[in-house]
Structure 1
């Protein structure tokens, strides 16, 4: 039985629950930067020791070198301890025992009930999160979570952050805030992250680089510090610099224009300012190496009971399953999702370790078999040896070893499209350093045959209402995840709310008459404080206010923890309910958490209903 996650839209309910997921995005390394990296490392080797220099060596795959210069370090504020801690962990040294004083203890001594460090500053919370995370502690650590919330509470209206609460946004602190929030468990799709991305993109100069402050009266020329900081955020987001082009120029291209013949990176173009220097070289190397802070972390001493990861399994001719599961290793994803998804699997013991032979009847044979990727990358470890982290995205697929995954991206995404409205999209393939256009790919949606052009673009148009699953396929590539497109004449939804209250839902109907109308109440489902291994239920009333019988289906958006939601004992993606005209039905919404679920905090989502006439 295949259970695919569908994205539908028509009526909205807000959801809140006290649990969270973490996200550790993939890292990107572009081959075109290898020469620049080598030159940058040679330049740093001629410079004096400092924390960023140490981390640059480690980030680029080189020996971090001696960190004895930090043994006698001491400071009097939180932010001053952050980079020395990060430098030590990048070199594999314990900041609690290697120096003369316990750096971790000193950093934590500046924490209070709401944040870390100076209450007016925000950058000490960003760097404090990096530093603590680098020591191997969980993102659920109290100090990390308090600093996360402090940053979220003090995000500026333009989506950015400054170094303190009282100053305007700048690109450097916004970029570091993005990486810190992701490190602390905020998801990629969170509004705070998306608003920050919008601020950064709006700050990009025509040369592809970034200024410190795009509104500064002292100048807005691109500089290496700012461009490197944003590149690190792009890496943390799991995106490619090619996705951040301005006038056909990427941040990497602009950064490389600032590299001198000796390998160092000028702050701004050589000769443009009397304050020029090459202090940005360390951060430039970290960015070009595809890394962000923390560049490395110590192994946690806490035993891993399993991570909350999203997964997708693509069979030989059709998708098998997609969802959220608790798993220690990549192989455990298959084991632990089998019962939930209803498929059989076979694992054989070989001289090289466990080998996945079959999933859902698709048996490995010849050059084809079962392979896996984590965050789109193909790991060098066997599936039973690859330890997962909270927020990892795991893809299992049946193909040849060199097959590349596809993704289908909608360019004009909407909750609901009108009949005859055009839907524009693009198909891309992951090539190891980023996403490239996928020409001549088959786009399948509602029986409509379509091929992408040389630029990977396509367009769709549907004459009748309904739900159309769009996915991309191409010989020798891994099938894309499905995107469900909803086509309907009548649309309405309620906004997502963070209030933990219950209230009646008032529907604002279209001014034009329609025979398909229904209401949903309440406007919010509050599951309260839910412990792992426990369940909570809420009642939803669906009232058919139109002149036709309707079939109602559902979708979930927001935090992935709501993938565990069931409606009338059915996983939400399989839910379907017939409601006759002028009548109503009650639906039981039940959220059950696995006993192993171990990440805590308030999370939000949206339960969306949509209906079609019977």
Structure 2
């Protein structure tokens, strides 16, 4: 389905029961109740990774916009969580998390020289953010870890501390990620130490001679999998790591920490969920999209002209490539000492104080477009400045960012939008910003937030404020979003619900009524009809087509006087269109009983 195509589904059923069901995205190894339990907790980086590893979509991300601490591990967990979501850790947060982590290196290691744990997590985080494992910082941190391996093969949390399962698992994950071969002596001895800790119940303890616990077992599983081993085959008389974790699961989906300490434990649950997903660490990697290495956006006077990824060597290369990719024209002049000066995009011409400007990673560049050499993970924003750097508007040139607590909410639910502005190298809240794309514009409060409670539909939202650069757009789906359900019912006898569907777009809300069509009891050869109303409450005209699935009887469905494959009708914005649905049971039809099918209305913005 294209990004601009939406659908409304009408499902038929034997009784007034909605046949369409919400199915959680692929869960490799945890139950829906565990997913639900984790979603009731305050989100954190580890929960995000656990849910992402289990295929759960539309995860909240606002908790990743800032980092509460200032250590390597604080930045590392945020980087790993963002990479698991495919987000750029260098630009997503209020500061560049990758640069902040790299800045904490000293003496060939990461963070505090007294600790090893931060070196392990730093390596994993940097690698997940597309930093090559041949990078000198990763290589030196790897060497630092190996040089402090204990004589028993394990690793401790700190230099000189006794080995434990968790620190050894982290070191195994990091060293393997950094390119150390799985059968290298350092990893072989660490694996031998780890496997030697396994208890008879199949689980792993924190240190030898203690009770197995969920966290230690989970981390051991992640490390085993990193080395190419199947935890299900690491057995003891009493079971495997998987069966041990299963013994800790509670009826509400949570996990206990130990068998001797039953009851829901949030940390145990997030770690178990991550390990049972079948993933390892990193859960995912931030990689530039295959269609371009650099994020490139053009904000014109009244609208976004381009938002894509492109390849190039200079900022000017992106400008030129964007003309082809996004269909705009541009021109400029060559200025001695500056190079190319952009003066026009489409009919928006620089004149007087009105100018075209550009930012790299949200800050002004010190050279012209042709002179700026792109660096890894750069993001380029070209924007229309109607009043270039005047004293009256000192905050102009500062870009806005729009964040949503969730990209999808249930029907009748709400979502919090947050608008921030980039100032002094960080993102801070902005009051008085307008969020467009809703039926009525919404303005942010003093803390930069606005509560959105919207009709079912799909929305494309943007934040703006006079004398600031508007934000990139964010997609929001409310309720069934692009789909809804309605009951159709027919019972064929011997001869002698669900709510109205809705779909929305950047500025459309499309719905279908009534909530149910019942063709009743028909004998072969009989015909029945029902009226359907298509309604477009938005501001964009839509072209509507139809699709039928299910019992072959419904292949004979007629919509608006034509066979359903030929059905097509335009619905103007703020208008309705009546459609008659007709069903005839063929005289030769031999089937009996209640038949079910599915009617899909596709709405394309015109």
Give the TM-score normalised by the residue count of structure 2: 0.42
Greater Rg, structure 1 or structure 2? 2
Give the TM-score normalised by the residue count of structure 1: 0.42
